[in-house]
């Protein structure tokens, strides 16, 4: 499945001669103190890996502003290839925004958020409602409408499942207990999550939506999450325990932020944190899960508080290009929320971003969208 889609993308690249919706984003997750990063690694291979067929890394934003994005992109000197939005799981898929993005050469990146249920019977196992077929008709409708759209579209269901701030998280679906679901040898929280992810994937695929690019996206640093919510390092909340399998994932993903000394960050004793410290060890874990699939950063940004944001931006993009070759997409969380995450939070930040993404390695158009 994945190789066919990737082959289609490669064929587009040979053939070619060369914003966002208004949905409200979810609350940004509260990370735990940063773990010591492991230097990123690469996997030697005698033949090209699938991600190596991509010509560079695709730029993206979640643009959470009330004014049009075109002004920002004009200032940067580049637009984006990926436009992120957040959609409630229960709402129907409407292709209008995705179609508008396609006309501009962009691909939609939908974060599909399951809000759980007020039914007290499912309070400690909200994913069971999906697995018991409550949303089967809804999933079929989504699949049919996605298929009718025809063009590629990212779908990220169940992101940051290794935290505890969303109803689909393993910690809210049985955690490390063993006797409440499925295989008694597997922790219930991750096992339920994997089952729900596969259930949704299979329902959408059965409706003919083979144009969907499926994204699996834990929260980074994974080591922080693994030792939380009653788990320990090597325990039930390790990110790998949530992996649905290669046949169910097209792009690997992770989210992470530099909270610095922002007021919100001080509620969990955050400090200024480099790109490597946020993503380094987790990148190595994603490589271990699959060394060939492309990786996308689904959300990331830096505060101005506690350090030099402009220098942080330059370092992040230089580091990705030099040391993180499997990263082939990156989405900046452009909004002033818990802190000012925006690209243009200061003139220095904007200038640094413009410089950082000027290289042709950073791509601002998704192939084939305007055909």
| Chain Cα centroid distance, residue 268 | 23
> Could you tell me which residues are beta bridge partners of residue 297?
254, 330
100: containing domain: 2-24+50-60+74-344
Phi, psi of 210 (to 5 degrees): -85, 5
Q: Give CA separation, 314 vs 2, 7, 235, 302, 363, in Å.
A: 32, 32, 36, 12, 17
Whole-number Å distance between alpha carbons of 68 and 82: 16
pLDDT at residue 328 tops 70: yes
Across 314-334, average pLDDT: 98
Does residue 366 lie in a domain region? no
Q: How far apart are CA 146 and CA 93, in angstroms?
A: 7
Q: How far apart are CA 120 and CA 186, in angstroms?
A: 25
- Sign of the four-CA dihedral 213, 245, 323, 261: positive
pLDDT value at position 11?
37
Residue 186's φ and ψ, nearest 5 degrees, are -110, 145
C-alpha to C-alpha distance for 332 and 69, rounded to whole angstroms = 13
Residue 16 predicted with pLDDT over 70: no
Instruction: Find the length of the chain.
Output: 371
The whole-angstrom separation of Cα 112 and Cα 342 is: 23
- The pLDDT value given to residue 47: 59
Is 219 inside a domain boundary?
Answer: yes
Give the contacts of 206 (CB within 8 A, at least 6 positions apart). 140, 143
15 falls in which pLDDT band (50, 70, 90)? very low
User: What average pLDDT is seen over the chain?
Assistant: 89
CA dihedral defined by 353, 359, 361, 366, rounded to 10 degrees?
70
pLDDT digits (tens, 9 = 90+) for 263-278: 988 988 899 999 999 9
| 281 occurs within a structural domain | yes
Question: What whole-number percentage of the chain has pLDDT above 70?
Answer: 87
Name the DSSP letter for residue 219: B
Inside any domain, residue 41: no
pTM given for the model: 0.88
Residue 43 lies in a domain: no
Instruction: Report yes or no on 349 lying in a domain.
Output: no
Residue 323's closest CA among 9, 34, 38, 54? 38
pLDDT of residue 49: 80
Which tens digit of pLDDT belongs to each residue from 66-98?
Answer: 888 989 999 999 999 999 999 999 999 999 999
Count CB atoms within 10 A of the CB of residue 330.
24
For residue 323, pLDDT beyond 90: yes
* DSSP labels, 82-147: EEEEEEETTSPP--HHHHHHHHTT-EEEEEEE----S-GGGTT-TTHHHHTTTTHHHHHHHHHHHH
How many independent structural domains does the chain possess?
A: 1
- For the chain, counts of helices (H) and of strands (E): 10, 9
Burial class of 12 by CB neighbour count within 10 A (0 to 12, 13 to 18, 19+): middle
pLDDT (0 to 100) of residue 65? 85
Average pLDDT over residues 202-230: 97
Q: What CATH number did the domain enclosing 338 receive?
A: 3.20.20.80
Q: Is residue 37 a part of any domain in this protein?
A: no
Give the whole-angstrom CA distance, residue 331 versus residue 314: 15
d(CA 63, CA 332): 8
pLDDT at 8 over 90: no
Tally of CB atoms within 10 A around 137: 10
């Amino acid at each position: 499945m994945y190789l066919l889609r990737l082959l289609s993308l490669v064929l587009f690249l040979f053939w070619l001669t060369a914003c966002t919706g208004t949905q409200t984003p979810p609350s940004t997750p509260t990370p735990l103190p940063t773990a010591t990063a492991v230097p990123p690694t690469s996997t030697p291979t005698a033949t090209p890996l699938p991600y190596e067929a991509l010509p560079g890394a695709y730029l993206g934003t979640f643009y959470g502003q009330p004014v049009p994005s075109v002004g920002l992109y004009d200032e940067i000197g580049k637009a984006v290839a990926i436009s992120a939005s957040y959609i409630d799981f229960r709402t129907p898929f409407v292709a209008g925004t995705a179609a508008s993005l396609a006309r501009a050469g962009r691909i939609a990146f939908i974060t599909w958020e399951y809000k759980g249920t007020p039914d007290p019977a499912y309070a400690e196992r909200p994913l069971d409602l999906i697995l018991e077929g409550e949303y089967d008709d809804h999933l079929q409708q989504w699949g049919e409408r996605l298929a009718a759209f025809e063009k590629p579209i990212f779908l990220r269901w169940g992101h940051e499942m290794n935290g505890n701030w969303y109803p689909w998280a393993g910690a809210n679906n049985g955690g490390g207990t063993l006797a409440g679901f499925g295989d008694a040898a597997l922790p219930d929280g991750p096992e339920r999550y994997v089952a729900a992810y596969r259930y949704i994937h299979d329902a959408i695929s059965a409706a003919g939506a083979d144009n969907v690019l499926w994204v699996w996206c834990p929260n980074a640093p994974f080591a922080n999450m693994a030792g939380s919510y009653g788990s320990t390092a090597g325990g039930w909340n390790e990110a790998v325990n949530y992996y649905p399998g290669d046949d169910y994932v097209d792009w690997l993903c992770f989210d992470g932020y530099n909270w610095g000394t922002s007021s919100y960050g001080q509620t969990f004793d955050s400090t200024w944190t480099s790109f490597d410290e946020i993503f380094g060890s987790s990148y190595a874990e994603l490589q271990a899960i699959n060394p060939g699939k492309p990786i996308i950063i689904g959300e990331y940004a830096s505060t101005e508080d506690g350090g030099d944001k402009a220098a942080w931006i330059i370092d992040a993009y230089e580091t990705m290009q030099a040391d993180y070759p499997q990263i082939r997409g990156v989405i900046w969380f452009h909004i002033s929320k818990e802190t000012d995450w925006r690209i243009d939070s200061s003139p220095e930040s904007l200038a640094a971003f413009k410089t950082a993404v000027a290289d042709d390695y950073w791509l601002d158009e998704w192939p084939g969208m305007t055909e």
